Amino acid sequence: MRIVLDTKILISAVLSRTGPPATIIDYVLDGKCLLIISKNIFDEVARVLAYPKITKALDRKGVTIDLLKAFLNNLARTASITPGKLKVDVIKTDPSDNMILECAIEGTADYIVSGDQHLLELGIYKNIQIITPGFFLTIFK
């Protein structure tokens, strides 16, 4: 199963090691499904992890810079990275969400797992289902 996780899901998995996002990351790291990611998504995750509010939350949970680097390295090593050449202009209200669609198309994903309302409202795009983490886990089992 080939999946694209939006930034919110990836950040949620770092902030809390329990719950659906963390479970999905565990499946990816265990090789039970293939994470498709683009350089743009990877860069956005790294940028968001550096936000002061996020770094404070991570500090409170004892997540060090070394652990964050290890997480990002594991993602990069485990995932299939798309070329990032495709451009779409589907989501007008939040154009940065289009990178998730671009990645999914380039990586021939089966699912986009998202917590983003703009993406979830699409429901399906180019035969790629856009679903919540909880629903993904229901399908996965």
Amino acid at 25: I
Superfamily (CATH H level) for 2-140: 5'-nuclease (3.40.50.1010)
113: number of Cβ within 10 Å = 30
CB 136 within 8 A of CB 29: no
- Per-residue pLDDT tens digits for 3-40: 999 999 999 999 998 999 999 999 999 999 999 999 99
Distance CA 1, CA 56 (A): 34
Facing residues of 135 across strands? none
- Per-residue pLDDT tens digits for 108-127: 999 999 999 999 999 999 99
